Amino acid sequence: MSDMQKIATYYGQKVVYVKIDENEFDYLKDANVVLERFPVQTYYSFLARKYLPETVERAMYFDFDVIFLDTIEAVYFQAFEGNYFIGVKEVYPKAVADLTEEELRLGKLVNGGTIIMNIAELRKNKVDSNYFKPFVDRLKQLPTVNFHGEALTFYSDQGLLAYVFRDKVKVMSEGQIFNNFSKLQPTGQEVIVHFYGQPKYHNSEISAIFSNYETRWLYTFHRYKLKAQIILGKVDALAVFAYFDQNLTKAIQYSDFSLMENYSIAFPWRRVPSDEMFSFELTHEE
C-alpha cells in the first residue's frame, strides 16, 4: 500500500483501500464455480455500489493483466444508454442477440477483464451480493454447463454477469479496448490491451522483443514497470541502463532460442530464469 501510494502521489492521485466482508458471497461455496481457480474476489466488482462512496457514479474494473497505451477518457466516459455495464464482446463467432442461456452462463457475452460500471444505476437498483443470490440459487438447480471439460454452474463472474444482466450490458466491438487473443489482430486504435490470450507481457522480460509481434505493448509495460521503480527510489538511471543492456545483449546472442512466453494448451511453455541461454518449462504434461 505504501508503494502504491507513493506512485499515486507522483501522479497527483491517491489510493483508497476498501475492506470487503469476506462472507459476502458465501453462497457460492456450494456452487460449481471453481473458487480455487476463480476466487471469490473475482466477484467483488459486483459490490461497487455498496462499498464505493455515494459521490461515485461510474467506475471501471480491470484485471491485473492490462496495459494502457493512451488516455482512456473516450472509453471511460461513453454513454451507458440505460445499461448497467459496458464491456467488449467476448471472442465468439455468434451474434450477441443469438446467445443461448447456456452460452450466457459460459460468459460468451462480454469479457470480464475490462468492465465499465454504471454505479448510479447499480445503487438505485440495490445491486450487491444479496441481489445475485436468487439467481445463483436458481442456477444451482439447472444442469451444469461444460467449460473445457469442467462441469460448472456458471463460468465465474463473467458468466453470472451475462446471465443476470443480458439486457443491461452495452456490448462494444473490438477497438479501443483490445482483448489480446491468438485469433485476433491489433486494431491500431487500442488504448487498453488486456492480455487474456496466450502472450503474457506482464510476465515478460524486455528481451522478449525478439519474439514479440507487437513491440509497442512490450515497451509500454517495461517503461511503466521501470518508472514505478524509479519513483519508489529502488533503481537509478544506471540500473535502468543495465536492465536493458544485460537483457538485450543476451537476447541478441541467443535470439534463435527466444520464444514469447505463452500460457495455453496450444503453446504450453513458460519462461524461467537462466544465467546463460533462454530457458522454458512445459506447463502441461501432455
Residues 237 and 165 in one domain: no
Q: How confident is the model at residue 117 (pLDDT cuts 50, 70, 90)?
A: very high
- Res 2: pLDDT: 95
Within a domain: 142: yes
Q: Is residue 140 pLDDT above 90, yes or no?
A: yes
Q: Is 160 found in the same domain as 61? A: yes
Instruction: Kindly report which listed range (175-189, 243-257, 263-277) carries the lowest average pLDDT score.
Output: 263-277
Same domain for 228 and 156, yes or no, is: no
* Rounded average pLDDT over 59-78: 92
Q: pLDDT tier at 35 (50, 70, 90 boundaries)?
A: very high
Q: Which three cell numbers stand for residue 265?
A: 494448451
For residue 77, count CB atoms less than 10 angstroms from its CB and return exposed for 0-12, middle for 13-18, buried for 19 or more.
Answer: exposed
In-domain check, residue 16 = no
pLDDT surpassing 60 at residue 254: yes
When pLDDT is cut at 50, 70 and 90, the band that residue 268 belongs to is low
In this prediction, residue 174 carries a pLDDT of 73
Distance CA 238, CA 236 (A): 6
Are residues 54 and 172 part of one domain?
Answer: yes
pLDDT class of 85 with cuts at 50, 70, 90: very high
Q: What is the mean pLDDT of residues 61-72?
A: 90
Q: Which residues lie below 8 Å from residue 163, measured CB to CB, with a gap of 6+? A: 101, 104, 105, 135, 139, 154
Mean of pLDDT values over 131-148: 96
Average pLDDT over residues 50-67: 93
Give the pLDDT score at 173.
Answer: 78
Do 165 and 213 have their domain in common?
Answer: no
Amino acid letter, residue 10: Y
pLDDT tens figures, 144-161: 999 988 999 999 999 999
| pLDDT at res. 134 | 98
Q: Which of 164, 67, 56, 183 lies closest to 116 in space, CA to CA?
A: 56
Residue 245: domain span:
198-282
3-state per-residue secondary structure call for 102-128: HHHHCCCCEEEEEEEECHHHHHHCCCC
Of the residues 179, 211, 229, which one is the last residue of a structural domain? 179
CATH of residue 89? 3.90.550.10
**Domain limit, last residue, from 179, 208, 236:** 179
117 lies in the same domain as 211: no
Same domain, 115 and 168: yes
Q: 264 pLDDT band (50/70/90 cuts)?
A: low
**109 neighbors 94 (Cβ within 8 angstroms):** no
Domain for residue 5, yes or no?
Answer: no
Where does residue 153 rank: exposed (0-12), middle (13-18), buried (19+ CB within 10 A)? buried
What the block records as the C-alpha cell of 238 is 544506471
Q: Of 62-66, 123-127, 199-203, which one has max mean pLDDT? A: 123-127
Give me the pLDDT at residue 170, please. 96
Residues 109 and 173 in one domain: yes
Q: Are residues 91 and 233 in the same domain?
A: no
Question: Looking at the structure, do residues 146 and 220 belong to the same domain, yes or no?
Answer: no
pLDDT at 217: 82
**Three-state DSSP state, 10:** helix
Residue 12 domain flag: no
Confidence check: pLDDT of 279 > 90: no
The tens digit of pLDDT for each residue in 161-211 reads 999 999 999 998 778 898 877 566 777 888 998 887 666 666 677 777 776
- Choose the final residue of a domain: 127, 150, 179: 179
191 in any annotated domain: no
Residue 131 has pLDDT above 70, yes or no: yes
Residue 172 sits in the same domain as residue 203? no
pTM for this predicted structure:
0.86
The C-alpha angle with vertex 271 and arms to 265 and 277, in degrees rounded to 5, equals 130
Residue 2: inside a domain: no
Structural domain count, the chain: 2
Question: Is residue 4 one of the residues assigned to a domain?
Answer: no
At residue 267, does pLDDT exceed 70? no
**Closest residue by Cα to residue 163 from 93, 80, 82, 107:** 107
Percent composition of the chain: helix, strand, coil (DSSP 3-state, to 5): 40, 15, 45
Q: What is the pLDDT of residue 112?
A: 92
Q: Could you tell me if residue 257 is inside a domain?
A: yes
Please give the grid coordinates belonging to residue 213. 509481434
Indicate whether 175 and 58 sit together in one domain.
yes
